[in-house]
Amino acid sequence: MGEYVYLESDGKLLLVYGDGSGPAIPQSGRIFHDADSVVIRLPTEEEIVGFGIVWETIRTNKFRLGQEEHTVTHGKPMVEWPGEWAWKDSVISDNAVDPVARESVYRTIHRVVSKVIIVNSQNQVLMAKVSRGFFTGCWTLPGGFVDYGEHPREAAVREAKEELGITISIDDPKGESGSSFGDDDGAFIREEIFTEDGINWISFTYKCHAEFEQEDIIPKDDEIEEAKWFDIEEALDIAVSIFDIEAIRKLQ
């Protein structure tokens, strides 16, 4: 099992060469690398002591690559801007960088999801029963991953259309995705790392008011089993995602 330390400051990451010397600098786009080439990796705790760097532990991630288990402790370095460290963006495309370091950088990237609480005139919430993925068989708010280059508000509107075949409009009082309109988008943002593997999630949940008859809702065949309106208390009872639960509670 490998045990390493991940120190990042303002987009700069401390890396070392195979013998522990450094700081090491990756080369973006380096493809050719063999057993005789230099290896760039995350440092060990003992090597950081050798650099004289003081740091504080943030969290510890544990994950498997192939048949090997790895432990990576993320820390906050007590340093000025470390100009001699590597830009973390250069790590991904250098084949000389150890896979543990590349995987660790990958896990610092937010997985962004966007959802919407659709409320009708009876103060009921529209929820969908998922037929695939992590929440298979469970009731959730309409929503999903935010596409590259897409505003979370636009993603929520798109997901409602894709999952349930409905067209909604979410207030945009600050004009974040165009011209401003309305006065309350109910925006609720929550970040969470659920397991020790360190995958970082951030969720945007919006609110809008709309009226849809049951026959107007067309669940996506391969993703949504059914969709129904629920009273707020019922919605809280059946919701399983902490993101959904906390957002629905704001309605009480």
119 and 84 in one domain? no
Cα 96–54–92 angle (5° rounding)?
Answer: 20
* Alpha-carbon torsion (64, 66, 72, 74), positive or negative: negative
d(CA 94, CA 126): 46
103 and 90, same structural domain?
Answer: yes
How far apart CA 33 and CA 95 sit, in angstroms, is: 6
Nearest to 201 by CA among 146, 137, 248, 138: 146
Instruction: Give the CATH number, domain containing residue 201.
Output: 3.90.79.10
Which of 107, 132, 165 is a domain's end point? Answer: 107
pLDDT 10s digits, 144-173: 999 999 999 999 999 999 999 999 999 999
- Claim to verify: residue 237 and residue 128 sit in the same structural domain: yes
Q: What's the pLDDT score for residue 35?
A: 59
- Return the pLDDT at 252: 81
Check residue 237 and give its pLDDT: 96
Residue that terminates a domain, selected from 67, 85, 107: 107
Same structural domain for residues 150 and 210?
A: yes
Task: Determine the 3-state secondary structure of 6 from DSSP.
Answer: strand
DSSP reduced 3-state for 137 = coil
Residue position matching structure tokens 């798109």: 158
Q: Which residues contact 88 (CB under 8 A, 6 or more apart)?
A: 8, 11, 12, 13, 105, 108
Confidence at residue 247, expressed as pLDDT on a 0 to 100 scale: 95
Give the start-end residues of each E strand in the chain. Answer: 2-9, 12-13, 16-17, 40-41, 55-65, 68-77, 86-87, 111-119, 124-130, 139-140, 143-145, 188-193, 200-209, 224-231
Tokens of 229: 């309106």
| DSSP letter, residue 109 | S
The pLDDT, as a whole number, for residue 1 is 65
Total structural domains within the chain: 2
15 and 130 housed in the same domain: no
CATH number of the domain within which 76 lies: 3.90.79
Question: One-letter amino acid identity for 46?
Answer: E
Both tokens assigned to 195:
């397991």
Last-in-domain residue among 107, 138, 153: 107
Take residue 157 and report the two structure tokens written for it: 């509107």
Do 117 and 158 fall into the same domain? Answer: yes
Pairing of strands 139-140, 40-41: unpaired
Distance between the two ends of the chain, CA-based, in angstroms? 48
Assess contact for 103 and 193: CB atoms under 8 A.
no
Within its chain, how far is the Cα of 6 from the centroid?
19
* Host domain of residue 234: 111-249
Low-confidence residues of the chain: pLDDT under 50: none
89 shares a domain with 50: yes
Check whether residue 226 and residue 142 sit in a common domain: yes
Same-domain check for residues 178 and 200: yes
Task: Indicate if 45 and 149 belong to the same structural domain.
Answer: no
180 & 145 share domain: yes
Same domain, 218 and 167: yes
Q: Are 96 and 37 in contact (CB under 8 A)?
A: yes
pLDDT of residue 246: 95
